[in-house]
Amino acid sequence: MRFSAMISDRDLTDEDRIDGMMLWFCGEIPDDIPGAVQALTDFYRAGESESKGQRRATGGGKSPCFDYAFDASYLYAAFRECYGMDLLRIPYLHWWEFRWLFNGLPEDCTLVKRIGIRATDLNQIKIKEERARIRKQQIAIAIPQELTDGEIGSAFEALI
């Protein structure tokens, strides 16, 4: 989960991310950096080219629909409710098993509902009232995003 946070950290350069990955998992910078990055990426994806969980987490759009840190309490509750697992006290859980269980969370689970709301494309909703209702929900449960100086400047320019 910390790996996911590191690779999505907008303050890090690609070189910082690669160095961080290598040092964290390999203990050193290997000779074959592209091969090592590919191996770590494959491991992170739980052996799949693009896992259902990754598609679920991004919703196929630009904004993430899931964040390990922001959604931690919902993730914890989902595993307790659906699998009877206490993620804080389990002695060992392989990353792939965790990802498979995450992917298998049922659609009626609160976490999956939140992800679904975030992933909803408002342009696909034809009924104005329903679109407004979903948009209100999206705003209420949005994952906070830190803005760059340029994005902040653009936002102010739009007000002028």
What pLDDT digit, counting tens, does each position of 73-132 carry?
A: 999 999 999 999 999 999 999 999 999 999 999 999 999 999 999 999 999 999 999 999
Residue 30 placed within a domain: no
Give the residue-averaged pLDDT of 3-9.
77
Domain residue limits at 85 = 71-143
Residue 150's pLDDT band (cuts 50, 70, 90) = low
How many domains, in total, are found in the chain? 1
Give the residue-averaged pLDDT of 55-71.
70
Is the pLDDT higher at 46 or at 91? 91
Inter-residue contact 106 to 26 (CB < 8 Å): no
Residue 99 placed within a domain: yes
Q: Which residue has the tokens 């102010």?
A: 156
The residue type at 141: I
Residue 53 placed within a domain: no
Residue 82 placed within a domain: yes
pLDDT at 23 over 80: yes
pLDDT at 160 over 70: no
Reported pTM = 0.72
Q: Cα separations (Å) of 159 from 139, 151, 156? A: 20, 13, 5
Q: Looking at residue 64, what DSSP letter applies?
A: -
pLDDT at 53 over 50: no
Residue 113 placed within a domain: yes
Residue 89 placed within a domain: yes
Burial tier of 149 (Cβ tally within 10 Å: 0-12, 13-18, 19+): exposed
Give the residue-averaged pLDDT of 1-29.
81
pLDDT at 37 over 60: yes
Residue 149 placed within a domain: no
Token pair of 113, please?
């509902």
Residue 110 placed within a domain: yes
Q: Which residue has the tokens 């307790």?
A: 80
Q: Which residue has the tokens 């991004």?
A: 58
